[in-house]
A and B are shown apart, each in its own frame.
Chain A
Amino acid sequence: MQQHKDPPVRLGSDFWIVTAVIVVLAILSIVYWAYAPIDSWMHEAVDRAAQIDLLFRFLAGTGFALAFAVLGYILYFSLKYRRRPDQDDEAIGLQIHDNHKLELWWTVIPTIFVIVLGFISVKLFLEIEPVNAAGGTHVVEALGHQWYYTFRYPGIHGEVKEMHLQVDQPVTLHVTAYDVIHSFWVPDMRLKADMVPGLVNTLVFTPKRTGRYNLVCTEFCGTFHGEMRSGTKQDAAYVYIDTPEQYQAWYSAQQRANANVSDAVAVASAGAVNLTGGDAAAGKTLFTQKCSACHAIGPFDQKIVGPGLKGVLHDPAHPSLVNGDKATPDAVAKILQNGFNGPMGTMPNQTANQLTDKDIANLVAFLDSLK
């Protein structure tokens, strides 16, 4: 912008010393990340994990190198060029405006870096992309619910609660959800796919290392999103990578156990639930499985997420349900069937809770028995 020329810049020996230190640190970080024992921090349980970690080694190595460079120079300039006590307000710095060569370099080098990174990422992306990857012989479906996972296997009726895979056998995993968006993430596999209702996403990989792995939901899915991970009260399920023998044993056991289970997906029934013949004892068992995370069998004030349900149908102090209806067995059944969503609170519906009409009748009978 200015007509006059910028003053010449001379770089002192300390500049080159700092530069040398930065270069050494940068090389060290690249070497370190090239050999870092990532597998011992987090298992590389499937083939994709090692591939993605390789990309991570590149990113981390170069990223740390760049961070050392920028932070290093900022620190060095800040110390070296700070105003000294003998300099007054009028003191000015070197009046340099620009340096086209330098600016060209720091445009070109990041551009080259981005091209290299883009190339590596695209290549890896195409490899792990299900369309291109060798289709797995082993097809599994994972389904997200509020707030647990279920799995479907060819040859096993219904849905099972745990995921078992066989080591070295390629898997095609289809994921979707019943109610809201969930996510399928096994950190040790470095793979993730969102489970979107009405949409099927696919992951293809080959298990490489036997063991038990955590399964975690990473898309917010409601009250107990944080509990939608392996080993919690809401969702106890893990992902297992088995030896062929273990896998076969598990598979046959599931086949037998689920021999009489329907393949139909539990959906909300159309009419009102028939409450006659509800079994309070069966209802009690169901209650501990499905309800006790949010509701205590105690007085109204014993709140977990929802209120305590002791005497819910017989409590003159609290005559209304969450939706404002009068507390009657039929009104309770209606909420269990259709769910509720309003200013007072939320109840999942029959589909989300996986309750059959018979289950609802049993639950209502149990609630009615609490006095």
Chain B
Amino acid sequence: MATEALHGGGGIADHIHPEPQGFIRKYVFSIDHKIIGIQYMITAGIFLILGGMLAELIRVQLMKANGGFMTPDTYNEVYSIHGSTMVWLVIIPMLTGGFGNFVFPLQIGARDVAFPWLNMLSFWIFPVAGLMVYASFLMGAPSAGWTEYPPMSLQGQAGTSMWAAAIFLVGVSSTLTGINFLVTILKMRAPGMTFTRMPLFVWGQFATAPLLMIATTALGAALAALFMQREFGVAFFDPTKGGSPLLWQHLFWFYSHPAVYIMILPAFGILSEVIPTFARKPIFGYKMIAFSSCAIAILGFMVWAHHMFTSGMAPALQLPFMVLTMTIAVPTGVKIFSWMTTLFGGVLRFTTAMLFSVGFVALFTLGGITGVWLAAVPFDLHAHGTYFIVAHFHYVLVGGSLMGIFAGLFFWFPKMTGRYLNETWGKVSFWLFFIGMNGTFLPMHVNGLGGQPRRTATYDPQFQGLNQIESIASFIMTAAILIIIINIIVSIRNGKRSGHNPWNARTLEWQIASPPPYYNFKHIPTVFHAPYDFSEPLPYRGLEHELEGTVYENESLQPAGVH
């Protein structure tokens, strides 16, 4: 066959080591991207539980206007670690390290990422850093929020330095992952997979990788400077020594605004796989979705100072940041309209993954609209630092990123384990989550505009009613996550068998066995088209032997002609 001849050269694709034996080499210090991906997901999942528990502590404290459940200092530590956990230890590792690692090398027809050992290193830095973040509780955790603005963070307890070191390590891990992914996508796509034939999840990772690589390093610099200021008195941020508190805000947001897109672009990618698969039609406007991801990634670097409109920047600087920020609404709108139109004329199967995806589009739209509002400086002068901000970014990160993670979980779980997650309980968890999410964060818009500042252990009694609704709704959301966790634990051993392609999906990862064998493809396929044409035969050649030797207990799942 022609493809075989082309691949007889003995390049990387044919350089196959034997599968490692023994538990440690296979599952602990594995260099297999699939195992590493799952390791990331499990670790990030554990941190999601911890961060969620902190969130509930916050909500319990806020049941009453004068608090009383925790001391103000404890409360400040709790919400700071909640934010740090969710951003750096849950959403970013889950979407890049977790789903990225597991899915995209399969989707581009590669046997692994470009630097498997580096990948293993990236992973193992992450749990260590996570433990350091939590160990900071022992030394007095950081208490100035996940943003740790100096001079407040210079007053913070000893754990603040530990926190800075830990997040620095997370940053190193992210940077290495970014480099690894970018080289892999640029150099290791299967023959024939041009850029416009890449699945959209790969596009999401492709747009994210440079952000991981570049923005995270700037965060590293900020954290290193904070550490030096705190431990050695180097005058970066302390105004009494000639430093500038605003310098931190610039450095921090130069990372943390692109970080917002690190947290959402891969989730966009998940959506762009799930929606066409369950609508049974091509994604609408493939190129627009792909290019708008890149546009968002580039614009994301030019808008950081919109977090600082009240900080006292020169007005001449504020204007361009305001206008550029509003500009991001255009590519984001393009995506939302494209997903919406993909639903049009489809044959929609509302599996749990699809429910989470459609829910994502709805809630992310709301978060996006409030985002445009906040871009307008005069409005931001009122809303900055209030619960309106909290509502806005939770709509984007919980309604967006986290729902995207759940969509991806229900979608790819059969590929990871060969079994379905329970769909009935999945749907229950979706509806509970959707209701709880809106109940928790919708009233916060009103609170914020009405005058409730964020990050407070006590608040004006006039807001108590809405806060109690929020707290109660947050328990519903927690219940949903609990159901998902139980669903995972039960389904890993007892879930219904799924076969290799339960959703009838068309990207490459679904054309091989579930779970995929070590080194993924017996034979690297050749790609002829983008994957989303449901009326056409699959656009791949060279996959004929992939399922040979795969035996399913359930006869009906056995691929035709394979025994």
Contact = CB atoms under 8 A, between A and B. Distances in A.
B458 A106 contact: no
B337 A106 contact: yes
Of residues B144, B375, B378, which shows the largest number of chain A Cβ atoms within 10 Å of its Cβ? B378
Given A98-B286, A196-B311, 9 more contacts: A1-B530, A92-B347, A96-B284, A110-B334, A114-B327, A121-B379, A125-B378, A199-B245, A220-B149
A60 B446 CA distance: 13
A56 B449 CA distance: 11
Interface of B: 67, 71-73, 76, 139-140, 143-145, 149, 151-152, 155-159, 196-197, 239-240, 244-246, 279-282, 284-288, 310-312, 315, 318-319, 322-323, 326-327, 329-330, 333-334, 336-338, 340-341, 343-350, 358, 361-362, 365-366, 369-370, 372-373, 375-379, 381-382, 384-386, 449-451, 453-460, 504, 529-530, 532-536
16 contacts: A2-B533, A59-B379, A74-B358, A77-B340, A83-B348, A96-B281, A121-B377, A125-B315, A181-B152, A183-B453, A185-B453, A217-B453, A218-B385, A219-B385, A220-B152, A226-B456
Nearest to B359: A74
Task: Give the 7 A-B residue pairs with the shortest CB-CB distance, closest first.
Answer: A226-B456, A218-B385, A198-B239, A93-B281, A94-B345, A187-B451, A93-B346
A220 B245 contact: no
Contacts of A216: 451, 453
Contact of B529 (A2, A110, A201, A221): A2
Contacts of B337: 70, 106
Interface in A145-188: 179-181, 183, 185, 187
Contacts of B381: 52, 128, 190-192
B318 A125 contact: yes
Given A181-B152, A226-B457, A1 B286 contact: yes
A134 to B, nearest CB: 16
A220 B389 CA distance: 14
A57 to B, nearest CB: 11
Contact of B152 (A9, A122, A180): A180
A229 B214 CA distance: 40
A82 interface: yes
B373 A63 contact: yes
B382 A192 contact: yes
A73 interface: yes
Contact of B343 (A52, A60, A74, A106): A74
A95 B326 contact: no
A250 to B, nearest CB: 24
Contact of B378 (A52, A221, A229, A345): A52
A183 B385 CA distance: 9
A257 to B, nearest CB: 29
Interface string A80-124: 011100010101111111110011001100110110011011101
A21 interface: no
Given A192-B385, A218-B453, A227 B340 contact: no
A31 B149 CA distance: 41
B346 to A, nearest CB: 4
B347 A219 contact: no
Nearest to B452: A216
B363 to A, nearest CB: 10
B345 A198 contact: no
Contact of A63 (B73, B139, B372): B372
Contacts of B71: 303-305
A94 B378 contact: no
B240 to A, nearest CB: 8
Interface of A: 1-2, 9, 41-42, 51-52, 55-56, 59-60, 63, 66-67, 70-71, 73-74, 77-78, 81-83, 87, 89, 91-99, 102-103, 106-107, 110-111, 113-114, 117-118, 120-122, 124-125, 128-129, 131, 179-181, 183, 185, 187, 190-194, 196-201, 214, 216-227, 229, 232, 303-305, 341-346
Given A95-B534, A117-B326, A77 B245 contact: no
B385 A82 contact: no
B2 to A, nearest CB: 22
A227 B155 CA distance: 18
Contacts of B336: 70
B377 A125 contact: yes
Contacts of B386: 218
B53 to A, nearest CB: 21
B72 A224 contact: yes
A241 to B, nearest CB: 17
A181 B343 CA distance: 48
B5 to A, nearest CB: 27
Contacts of A181: 149, 151-152, 245
Nearest to B79: A220
B157 A341 contact: yes
A145 B454 CA distance: 18
A173 to B, nearest CB: 13
Contacts of B457: 225-226
Given A78-B348, A98-B288, A102-B341, A70 B382 contact: no
Nearest to B151: A180
A2 B279 CA distance: 19
A81 B157 contact: no
Contacts of A91: 280, 347
Contacts of B197: 1
B312 A92 contact: no
Given A59-B376, A223-B76, A42 B451 contact: yes
A257 B385 CA distance: 36
B282 to A, nearest CB: 5
Nearest to B446: A41
Nearest to A339: B155
Of residues B140, B330, B347, which shows the largest number of chain A Cβ atoms within 10 Å of its Cβ? B347
Given A103-B285, A181-B245, A187 B382 contact: yes
Of residues A1, A56, A99, which shows the largest number of chain B Cβ atoms within 10 Å of its Cβ? A1
Given A67-B365, A95-B535, A226-B458, A185 B385 contact: yes
Nearest to B75: A226
A10 B381 CA distance: 47
B322 A198 contact: no
A192 B279 CA distance: 47
